[in-house]
């Protein structure tokens, strides 16, 4: 199959993957809390119900911006799999996330705005890592595309242990898991109500959910980049990483934004930065 076909497949299969992942997540989280939990397909039922509901908006630009959020999340995956330069993907990924911030910010209401600002803070926290990770992967493998990295004889994770470690930390932000779920939370008992989704309902909320599923699939694809010997190996690594995330999610409270920013930057600087520095020094 050509890379373009993978790209198209991503558009259709990533939501299925993300939704199932969310279903498993909710089930496992419930069991960790001693509850029975919802059916496995509950996220899909929820999405269906959200789409059926009356769509009420505070202003008319929210919907286009959220569509942009979904679209660019999907585009990031398509570009990644269809062989676009990895470092460029990091920028597109940030653009996709930015659309969510703008949608929430455009509402101009106290809670959505504070959520949007916090999302900007976590973008600021996570973005350096993704640029650095992509650059490091390119440096290690000498390739610049997804297929190229997968074809490389080097096992990236072995060369980039620090980046892998920082990835686990930063993925907590992107997967919206405690302790880093500061801009939104799956149940709204936080100081910002529902953070940046506070003023979104019905169809709007469905877009956010859908984009998050794409995002999860994208993170999985990133994990495959780190374990590039085979796709099943990458999937296994992602499953283990996700299980860890769920466990930590159920074992910590939500951090404050200052700690999120500081710890993520420190991890990026020390673990991935140190890793990249070593890589450059040794490859001389």
Q: How far apart are CA 87 and CA 214, in angstroms?
A: 19
- Does position 106 interact with other proteins (CB under 8 A)? The reply is yes
Beta carbons of 179 and 252 less than 8 angstroms apart: yes
3-state class (DSSP) for residue 193: strand
Q: How far is the CB of 235 from other proteins (least distance, A)?
A: 21
Interface with other proteins in residues 48-67 (CB under 8 A): 54-61, 63-65, 67
Size of site (CB under 8 A) for other proteins? 105
Q: Which stretch binds other proteins (CB under 8 A): 14-22, 158-166, 178-186, 224-232?
A: 178-186
Q: Please, which residue, 16 or 31, has the CB nearer to other proteins?
A: 31
> Residue 48 burial by CB count (10 A; 0-12/13-18/19+): exposed, middle or buried?
exposed
- Does position 161 interact with other proteins (CB under 8 A)? The reply is no
- Does position 147 interact with other proteins (CB under 8 A)? The reply is no
169 is written with which tokens?
């930390």
- Does position 73 interact with other proteins (CB under 8 A)? The reply is no
Q: How far is the CB of 113 from other proteins (least distance, A)?
A: 5
Beta carbons of 163 and 226 less than 8 angstroms apart: yes
**Half-sphere exposure for 119 (CA within 13 Å, toward CB):** 29
Q: Which stretch binds other proteins (CB under 8 A): 108-116, 154-162, 166-174, 206-214?
A: 108-116
- Does position 8 interact with other proteins (CB under 8 A)? The reply is no
Instruction: Give the residue, chosen from 73, 80, 107, 149, that forms a contact with other proteins under the rule CB under 8 A.
Output: 107
* Orientation of helix 3-32 relative to helix 231-249, angle to 10°: 30
Q: Which stretch binds other proteins (CB under 8 A): 147-155, 161-169, 223-231, 264-272?
A: 264-272
Q: How far is the CB of 21 from other proteins (least distance, A)?
A: 17
- Does position 277 interact with other proteins (CB under 8 A)? The reply is yes
Cis-peptide into 23, omega within 30 deg: no
- Does position 261 interact with other proteins (CB under 8 A)? The reply is yes
Q: How far is the CB of 106 from other proteins (least distance, A)?
A: 5
CA pseudo-torsion sign 142, 148, 217, 207: positive
Q: How far apart are CA 216 and CA 144, in angstroms?
A: 22
Among 207, 260, 274, smallest CA distance to 47 is for 207
Q: How far is the CB of 184 from other proteins (least distance, A)?
A: 11
């Amino acid at each position: 199959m050509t890379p373009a076909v993978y790209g198209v497949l991503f558009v259709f299969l990533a939501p299925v993957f993300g939704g199932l992942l969310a279903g498993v997540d909710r089930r496992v989280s419930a069991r960790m809390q001693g509850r029975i939990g919802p059916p496995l397909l509950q996220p899909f039922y929820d999405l269906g119900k959200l789409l059926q509901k009356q769509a009420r908006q505070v202003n008319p630009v929210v919907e286009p911006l959220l569509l942009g959020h979904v679209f660019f999340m999907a585009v990031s995956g398509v570009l990644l799999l269809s062989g676009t330069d990895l470092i460029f993907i990091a920028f597109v990924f940030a653009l996709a996330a930015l659309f969510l911030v703008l949608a929430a910010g455009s509402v101009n209401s106290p809670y959505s705005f504070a959520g949007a600002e916090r999302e900007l803070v976590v973008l600021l926290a996570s973005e350096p890592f993704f640029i650095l990770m992509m650059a490091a992967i390119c440096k290690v493998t000498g390739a610049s595309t997804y297929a190229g990295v997968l074809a490389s004889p080097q096992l990236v994770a072995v060369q980039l242990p620090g980046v892998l470690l920082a990835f686990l930390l930063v993925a907590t932000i992107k997967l919206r898991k405690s302790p880093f779920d500061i801009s939104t939370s799956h149940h709204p008992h936080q100081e910002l109500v529902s953070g940046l989704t506070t003023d979104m309902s019905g169809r709007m909320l469905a877009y956010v959910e859908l984009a998050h599923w794409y995002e999860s699939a994208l993170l999985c694809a990133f994990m495959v980049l780190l374990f590039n010997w085979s796709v099943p190996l990458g999937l296994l690594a992602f499953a283990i990483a996700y299980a860890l995330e769920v466990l930590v999610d159920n074992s910590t409270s939500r951090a404050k934004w200052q700690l999120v920013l500081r710890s993520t930057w420190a991890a990026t600087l020390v673990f991935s930065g140190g890793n990249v520095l070593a890589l450059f020094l040794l490859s001389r």
